[in-house]
Amino acid sequence: MADTDPPLVQISGVRKSFDAVHALQGVDLDIVGSEVTALLGDNGAGKSTLVRCLTGVHPPDAGEIRFRGEPIRLSSPDDARRLGIETVYQTLGLIEDLQVWQNLYLNRELTTGFGPFRVLDKKSMISSSKEILSKLDVNVPNVRATVRRMSGGQRQSISIARAANWGKTLVIMDEPTAALGVRETAAVEELIRRLRDSGVTVLLISHDMGQVTRVADTAYVLRRGRTAARRTVADTTGDELVGLITGAIEGDVHA
């Protein structure tokens, strides 16, 4: 990417209220392409609301979102998907009783034939599912096993691999390792790094400062619906980030 290219996403002055609750009161944030940007903030700071503005769930009340330098209006999640923006939700969105490959192609099934002869192309979906998972080095031994039999880490990885496969541009993850053990967390962090190295841009919501310092390039801190600080991760510490989150350290977006 040339130095003169604008950031992939530029959010400026975004506001969003729910009746008397002013969830976002002026958020400014840039997401640079092929980087991992961490979005930090205490409970209720507005992180999930900002993500919903970016994925077309809640249109902002005010402010602007630019994508590759162009102002965009996202009126639905489909609008975001068309731009290659995908989200891995805390609930993962996997169906327990379906097999791994069926989850990877959920609502995006491949078909073969034409007109009334159109049928599901199960063979292609199974073989591409194997490819999608092996490309990202995801450890799922059998794509024909049901998700019910998968561990928490495998489920998280399947959900991320699915988002990365369809969200070629930006993958947003809301606390992807909140429910995972140490080894599974390490595997998911490795997957996030591989995604970034393959050119996918990641927006990562996390409450784990260790994780942020391990995988993120840039961190933004939201406090009470406003951007409180931006830090280059290599130039900060977990302690400073915690101070910015709690307000013990005064933020300065221009720092």
Ligand X SMILES: Nc1ncnc2c1ncn2[C@@H]1O[C@H](COP(=O)(O)OP(=O)(O)OP(=O)(O)O)[C@@H](O)[C@H]1O
Q: How far is the CB of 94 from ligand X (least distance, A)?
A: 20
In this chain, which of 14, 36, 40, 41 binds ligand X, going by CB under 6 A? 41
Does residue 87 touch Mg ion according to CB under 5 A? no
Which element (helix H / strand E) includes 171? strand 170-174
Residue (of 199, 147, 201, 146) closest to 172 by Cα position: 201
Residues 47-106 that bind ligand X (CB under 6 A): 47-49
The single-letter code of the amino acid at 129 is S
Does residue 247 touch ligand X according to CB under 6 A? no
Tokens of residue 181, six digits: 């053990």
User: CA 107 to CA 98: how far, in whole Å?
Assistant: 13
- 54 vs 83, beta carbon nearer ligand X: 54
Angle between helices 152-166 and 122-135 (to 10 degrees): 110
| Partner interacting with residue 21 (select from Mg ion, ligand X, none; CB below 5-8 Å by kind) | ligand X
Q: Dihedral of CA 17/23/26/29: which sign? A: negative
CB 1 within 8 A of CB 34: yes
Size of the site for Mg ion (CB under 5 A): 1
In this chain, which of 5, 13, 44, 123 binds ligand X, going by CB under 6 A? 44
In this chain, which of 11, 45, 80, 173 binds ligand X, going by CB under 6 A? 45
Does residue 218 touch ligand X according to CB under 6 A? no
| Partner interacting with residue 156 (select from Mg ion, ligand X, none; CB below 5-8 Å by kind) | none
The single-letter code of the amino acid at 233 is V
In the chain, where does DSSP find H-type helix? 47-54, 77-82, 100-104, 122-135, 152-166, 182-197, 209-215, 238-246
Does residue 21 touch ligand X according to CB under 6 A? yes
CB 48 within 8 A of CB 205: yes
Tokens of residue 89, six digits: 């939700």
Does residue 201 touch Mg ion according to CB under 5 A? no
- 41 vs 60, beta carbon nearer ligand X: 41
- 44 vs 69, beta carbon nearer ligand X: 44
| Partner interacting with residue 226 (select from Mg ion, ligand X, none; CB below 5-8 Å by kind) | none
- 87 vs 102, beta carbon nearer Mg ion: 87
In the complex, the residues that contact Mg ion under the rule CB under 5 A are 48
